[in-house]
Amino acid sequence: MDSLKIFLVISIFFWVVCKDKSMEVGQTKIPSFSYKTSHCLSSAIPQRTTVSSDSVFSYSFSDNLIMDFSSIGNCCPDSNRFVVGHEIRQDTIMITVADTAQNLCKCNCLYMIHTKVTGLLMNRYVVRCCLDQGQAVIDPLHIVTVVRN
């Protein structure tokens, strides 16, 4: 009878200890990423202008990292131009912007890309926003260090 009591006490102890640890593991955040793009904000950009001359990057970082940054694309068509990807490695967030629509006009537009990353564990990241042109990732549009508030 005493061995049954000891077994029950040990079983309950391990159940409680394992339950607490499994809840901690379940609370680990997995980063998620979402984005949306604007319509053309300005079509008065010469064909060969680089993004850096008209670049914009802003962010807020508390619970979530919210970033707004500029990219250049052809004026036509004005919507569904971009596919935005991301990769998070240690303290670096790489965001790639691919212009997937046809270049139907002889003009460029400035577009804003709004991104949201949730579940980040660190308080400081280097964000690299780059143009993806199929076979190669072009020099960064933006390289910014972001710090949690």
pLDDT recorded at residue 26: 47
In 3D space, the residue among 119, 124, 126 whose CA is nearest the CA of residue 147 turns out to be 124
Percent of the chain with pLDDT over 70: 70
Put simply, whether the predicted model's pTM sits higher than 0.75 gets the answer no
- Provide mean pLDDT across the span 114-130: 95
**H-assigned helices in 1-149:** 2-26
pLDDT, tens digit, 9 for 90 and up, residues 42-88: 755 444 434 444 468 999 999 999 999 988 888 887 677 888 999 99
- CA pair distance 105, 68, nearest whole angstrom: 26
